């Protein structure tokens, strides 16, 4: 059945003769009923809308929203006296509809609580921009109250009260932690939404908790539990669990997930593997972190000053695009410095004919400026083999192709790809990288497991794509700089000094 408020209404419009007061009265009925709001305020089953073939939330989402409504009713906020914060967390597997639920809660709070103020964030900038906030904007455009609000790239606000009735998207970088401070709504709701919360550093949580001291505050946190440490782990599985309304959702119980793909993961990795525990069961890894490279290691590398020795070689890594949607990425490293020379990115669609890429790499290899002279260049062999062949024909000998699937030089890794990433992970403890959201996402996205020979196996690009994540082009380009040892550069001898002879002598 079409939803109540959308049976005749076009999303974002007002029916002829329907006053703002009448709409507000209808919406106010859902103050303590977020599930009712969701069912009534989006065009479920309405022809010619994105939800024409959708019937509403699945049972997991409905249960979360019912619990939220009960907590609102239990507190009975009177508009003046502060109440206990509503704190709700959910650890779940992949694809259970968390982004949509975050959007519904956003619209519900904005629509039912005048002068509410919210902050939405996610573990990485890419997650926040392309998934969490993108979902909020998409669902708000479908909401019956859309005409009340201005929707911008990083915020949504009431048209009449833009400064104190709003929600903003905020990155969760630790240096931005103070951006989460000072958020209060004494007569309304101050609220936070943390998506992919396992990746958000504890200092951001601590600052955000300061916004829960007055009014009717709320805090929502969910994601896949990729770590056995940090605030999200403590909330879902540790000593703080009793302070939160906490749910656990298995991907196999969600209406939205690809059950055939999930079974493939179980068959390939095993039901007790960390991959399945985190991505399907929504449980933390058995030991340590499921992320191969943890967020803290990356953040510390971003803060570190770059350094290198005079004889450190300049190494270039080239990840060649596999399709029009991927990027050709060239990254540099000199000792512990992967910052000073910025990366070069060329859209894959521009290099379907490899001539352009060959020309660009030849230009780089010919650069004889002291700080740009490449000692060696490593190129991904999957699609870069012909590129390397042509460069060699042109006379460049300091370039090699690297087969990611080849045997590892170290028996502890299953293949060359795992070997390079392991060396890069170790290097990050002392190395310096730029504050680049693409590289940060690539480095922190990969999961891992160990095979029957106890060798490191990294999550495949195919599995990353099935999780909705991009190919780690920047991560692979930097990893290629660790493909093989490169000898130090022998400084050219300086010409001997000659004695100065005065022209007057």
Lowest pLDDT segment from 8-17, 31-40, 443-452: 8-17
Which two tokens mark 444? Answer: 């922190």
Neighbours of 22 (CB within 10 A): 12
- Confidence band for 178, pLDDT divided at 50, 70 and 90: confident
Instruction: Return the percentage of the chain with pLDDT > 70, whole number.
Output: 92
Conformation bin of residue 493: beta by default, left when phi > 0, alpha when psi is -120 to 50: beta
Look at residue 19 and tell me whether its pLDDT is greater than 70: no
pLDDT tens track for 430-456: 999 998 888 988 998 888 888 889 999
Q: Is the pLDDT of residue 289 over 80?
A: no
Mean pLDDT over each residue of the chain, to the nearest integer: 90
Structure token digits, residue 283: 């449980």
374's enclosing H/E stretch is: none
Q: Which residue has the higher pLDDT, 242 or 399?
A: 399
CA dihedral 36, 40, 44, 46 (to 10 degrees): 160
3-state secondary structure 12-33: CCCCCCCCHHHHHHHHHCCCCC
Predicted local distance difference test score (pLDDT) of residue 355: 87
Q: Please report the pLDDT score of residue 10 as a whole number.
A: 41
**β-pairing verdict for 245-249 and 166-169:** unpaired
Cβ-proximal residues to 16 (8 Å cutoff; 6+ apart), any chain: none
Residue 4: pLDDT band (50, 70, 90) is low
Average pLDDT value for residue range 25-29: 89
Worst-scoring range by mean pLDDT, 19-28, 107-116, 395-404, 448-457? 19-28
User: Is residue 437 a contact partner of residue 124, using CB atoms and an 8 Å limit?
Assistant: yes
Which residue ranges form the domains of the chain, and what is each CATH number?
Answer: 4-281 (3.40.50.300), 295-480 (3.30.420.240)
Of the pLDDT bands very low, low, confident and very high (cuts 50, 70, 90), residue 408 is: very high
Binned at pLDDT 50, 70 and 90, residue 468 comes out as confident
Q: At what angle do helices 98-112 and 133-142 cross, to 10 degrees?
A: 60
* Sequential DSSP letters for 263-299: HHHHHHH-TTSHHHIIIII----SSS-SBSS-HHHHH
For β-strands 245-249 and 314-319, DSSP reports them as unpaired
Contacts of 369 (CB under 8 A, 6+ apart): none
In which band, very low, low, confident or very high, does the pLDDT at 39 lie, cut at 50, 70 and 90?
very high
Q: Tens digits of per-residue pLDDT, 306-315?
A: 999 999 999 9
DSSP 447-461: BEEE-TT--EEEPPH
Any idea what DSSP says for residue 486?
-
Rounded CA-CA distance 445/55 in Å is 33
Rg (CA), the chain: 27
């Amino acid at each position: 059945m079409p939803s109540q408020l959308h049976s005749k209404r076009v999303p974002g419009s007002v029916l002829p003769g329907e006053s703002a007061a009448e709409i507000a009265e209808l919406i106010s009925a859902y103050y303590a009923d977020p599930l009712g709001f969701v069912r009534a305020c989006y065009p479920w089953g309405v022809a010619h809308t994105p939800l024409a073939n959708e019937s509403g939330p699945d049972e997991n989402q409905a249960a979360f929203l019912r619990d939220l409504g009960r907590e609102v009713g239990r507190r009975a906020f009177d508009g003046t006296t502060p109440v206990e914060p509503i704190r709700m967390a959910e650890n779940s597997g992949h694809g259970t509809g968390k982004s949509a639920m975050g959007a519904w809660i956003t619209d519900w709070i904005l629509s039912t609580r005048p002068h509410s103020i919210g902050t939405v964030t996610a573990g990485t900038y890419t997650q926040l921009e392309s998934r969490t906030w993108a979902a909020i904007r998409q669902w708000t455009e479908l909401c019956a109250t859309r005409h009340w609000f201005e929707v911008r790239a990083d915020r949504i606000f009431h048209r009449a009260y833009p400064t104190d009735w709003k929600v903003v998207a905020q990155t969760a970088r630790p240096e931005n932690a103070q951006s989460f401070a000072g958020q209060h709504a004494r007569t309304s709701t101050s609220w936070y939404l943390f998506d992919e919360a396992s990746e958000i550093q504890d200092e951001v949580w601590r600052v955000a908790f300061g916004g829960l001291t007055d009014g009717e505050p709320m805090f929502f946190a969910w994601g896949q539990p990729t770590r056995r440490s940090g605030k999200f782990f403590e909330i879902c599985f540790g000593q703080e669990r009793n302070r939160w309304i906490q749910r656990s959702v298995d991907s196999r119980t969600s209406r939205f997930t690809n059950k055939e793909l999930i079974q493939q993961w179980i068959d390939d990795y095993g039901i007790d593997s960390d991959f399945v525990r985190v991505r399907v069961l929504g449980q933390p890894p058995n030991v340590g972190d499921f992320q191969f490279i943890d967020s803290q290691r990356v953040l510390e590398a971003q803060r570190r000053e770059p350094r290198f020795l005079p004889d450190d070689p300049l190494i270039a890594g080239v990840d060649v695009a596999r399709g029009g949607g991927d990027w050709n990425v060239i990254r540099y490293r000199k000792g512990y410095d992967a910052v000073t020379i910025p990366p070069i990115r060329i859209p894959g669609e521009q290099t379907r004919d490899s001539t352009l890429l060959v020309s660009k790499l030849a230009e780089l290899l010919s650069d004889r400026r002291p700080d740009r002279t490449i000692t060696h260049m490593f190129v991904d062999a999957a699609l870069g083999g012909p590129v390397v062949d042509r460069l060699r024909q042109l006379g460049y000998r300091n370039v090699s192709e690297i087969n990611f699937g080849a045997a590892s030089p170290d028996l502890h890794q299953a293949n060359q790809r795992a070997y390079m990433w392991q060396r890069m992970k170790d290097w990050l403890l002392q190395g310096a990288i730029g504050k680049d959201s693409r590289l940060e996402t690539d480095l922190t996205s990969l999961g891992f497991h160990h095979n029957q020979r106890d060798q490191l196996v990294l999550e495949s690009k195919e599995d990353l794509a099935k999780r909705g994540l991009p190919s780690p082009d920047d991560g692979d380009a930097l990893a290629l700089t660790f493909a093989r040892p490169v000898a130090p550069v022998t400084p050219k001898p300086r010409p001997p000094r000659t004695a100065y002879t005065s022209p007057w002598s």
